[in-house]
Structure 1
Amino acid sequence: MMYLTVQSFIEDYENESMATQRLLDALTDESLRQEVALGYRTLGHLAWHLVPNGSMLDQAGLRFEVPAARNEPPASADIIAQSYRFTTRSLIEAVRTQWTDETLQETNRVYENPWKNGLTLSIFLRHEIHHRGQLTVLMRQAGLQFTGVYGPTKEEWAAFGMAAPAI
């Protein structure tokens, strides 16, 4: 899917980033050290990776404020959540003011591929959704409670007085 209008991206991204923000707000400093397995990204690395850093969108010519580059994620879950909140607002404002429906049809080289800007926005958002799914697995392993994204969590089903459906 490629975005054809700026407004359609903004609406999707506002909804998806709210879901991501709820998860990031549920993190604790201690949980940031959770690993899926030895030698893999920690929950902190994955959460920090979700904070837009501009790389993909920068290659497409979109400019917005991002946190200072760091090799290691902050040790504070609150800083990660605040950085995500600030950066997503900056990104939305940049799309709103720098691009038009017509510029979504323009092609730029992103990761050495000729992508239309509307495709770049779509891939950017899917990238976040992909990593958000990974984030929920690590959050579960860390023992954190969080709200469902596209449906209730097991705990939310229980609060409804129902068993979670078997998959």
Structure 2
Amino acid sequence: MYHTLEEFLSHWAFESADTQKLMDALTDTSLTQPMCPGGRTLGRLAWHIAQTVPEMMNQTGLAVTGVDEHAPAPDNAVEIAHAYAAAAASLVQEMTTRWTDATLATTDEMYGFTWTKAMTLAALMSHQIHHRGQMTVLMRQAGLRVPGVYGPAKEEWESFGMEPPLV
């Protein structure tokens, strides 16, 4: 849970940068990679992450700019990456101009529950990280090179002149 805006903003800078790396690695053809027959595609999943930033945070009274939660996923990877970047930056701008540390203890009705704003921020972060993990699996299935998150990806060990660890 976050106790200060700086705690969240520092964590957000790190995590949103890792999410952006994944978004930037997507290709138009990779967007059609399905999770399972009839399930979300990689493109729909990435779009969902971009949509959730304004959807969730605007329920707290912020005015985060971004794509509408009901907008269909585009078939253009660059559009998805740009949408995420814009929403992530807008969140920082809104929080730093409209909230204080004391705001984190105030509550909102969120998805049928009453959450503090600090809880909403934790849920936003966990949601993003959860779906980012799903994205990496789908990216590999789509034949993409997966950027490292929380350390080098399998393919990145070579750039360090090292063998990837045995699994």
TM over 0.5: yes
2: CA distance, partners of 1:24 / 1:60: 26
What per-residue deviation string (whole Å, max 9, x for no partner) do you get for residues 82-123 of structure 1? 111111110111111111100101111111111111111011
Identity of aligned residues (%): 46
In structure 2, what residue type is equivalent to 1:39?
G
Following superposition, the deviation at residue 36 of structure 1 comes to 2.0
Gaps of 5+ in 1: none
Gaps of 5+ in 2: none
Aligned pairs for 1:77-88 (under 5 A) are: 77-88=77-88
**2:154 counterpart residue number:** 154
**1:145 counterpart residue number:** 145
Following superposition, the deviation at residue 70 of structure 1 comes to 4.2
Aligned pairs for 1:3-22 (under 5 A) are: 3-22=2-21
1: CA distance, partners of 2:86 / 2:58: 17
- TM-score, normalization by structure 1: 0.93
2: CA distance, partners of 1:160 / 1:3: 35
**2:47 counterpart residue number:** 48
Equivalent pair of 2:55/2:68 in contact (CA under 8 Å)? no
Following superposition, the deviation at residue 126 of structure 1 comes to 0.8
In structure 2, what residue type is equivalent to 1:146?
V
Q: Secondary structure at the match of 2:101?
A: coil
Structure 1 residue ranges (4+ consecutive) displaced by more than 4 angstroms after TM superposition: none
Aligned pairs for 1:17-28 (under 5 A) are: 17-28=16-27
**2:117 counterpart residue number:** 117
Equivalent pair of 2:20/2:81 in contact (CA under 8 Å)? yes
- Inter-CA distance 92–134: structure 2 relative to 1 (3 Å threshold): same
2: CA distance, partners of 1:147 / 1:69: 27
Following superposition, the deviation at residue 61 of structure 1 comes to 1.9
1: CA distance, partners of 2:164 / 2:138: 20
2: CA distance, partners of 1:58 / 1:4: 20
In structure 2, what residue type is equivalent to 1:129?
I
1: CA distance, partners of 2:160 / 2:6: 35
RMSD: 1.4
117-126 vs 61-70, which deviates more? 61-70
Aligned pairs for 1:63-82 (under 5 A) are: 63-82=63-82
Matched pairs, number: 166
Write 1 or 2 for the structure with the bigger share of helix. Answer: 2
Q: Secondary structure at the match of 1:62?
A: coil
Aligned pairs for 1:83-94 (under 5 A) are: 83-94=83-94
